[in-house]
Amino acid sequence: MAIAARNAELLITTYLEMTSPDHFMPAYIRAGDVEIVKMEMPDLGFYKFLYQSVGEEWAWRDRLQMSNAELRQVLTSADTQVHVLYVSGSPAGYVELFRHDDGAVEIVYFGLRRDYMGRGLGKHLLSYGVARAWEMDAQRVWLHTCNLDGPHALANYQKRGFRTYDVVEEPMPELYT
């Protein structure tokens, strides 16, 4: 498992933000078989499939511990958007956005399924997600990543214009061991 190769003693979380759309440096790919579709009516089974198939390798656990009622409440909120990336009709990844009361839009989850990595799809999907976040009248767009995430995640965020505003180190929570 990929987690075993990482520092098992500390969880290092990096918080990044973009405070103006002028800082956004999109990187889209041109491919006729790539499409991103907003989930207009959240389907819990499909969402859980995406969450698990994207996040299993990176120790995503939070949404799996929520009840169906809690998860449905999050996904049906007017402040939540889930956009799914398809390649040749198959789901390849997704980006989930949440608008907070302070006007900030958080990229809550973002990632690709393993078979779709290494093709430039991550920068494409992230660019799409950031553009949608600014369209939600964001005062700022923010996200966090950690040392359990993919090795190119932080660099992708920085290349799109995000800047680090905090780094937190803590003992590795039992949830991720």
At residue 85, φ and ψ (nearest 5 deg) are: -90, 125
Predicted pLDDT of residue 45: 95
Distance CA 32, CA 86 (A): 11
Confidence of residue 1 (pLDDT cuts 50, 70, 90): very low
Q: Which residue has the higher pLDDT, 50 or 5?
A: 50
The full set of domains in the chain, from first to last, is 2-176 (3.40.630.30)
Predicted pLDDT of residue 42: 85
Convert the pLDDT of each residue in 115-139 to its tens digit. Answer: 999 999 999 999 999 999 999 999 9
Convert the pLDDT of each residue in 17-64 to its tens digit. Answer: 999 999 999 999 998 999 999 999 989 999 999 999 999 888 888 898
Confidence of residue 8 (pLDDT cuts 50, 70, 90): low
* pLDDT, average across residues 71-82: 96
Q: What is the pTM of this model?
A: 0.92
Convert the pLDDT of each residue in 97-114 to its tens digit. Answer: 999 999 999 999 999 999
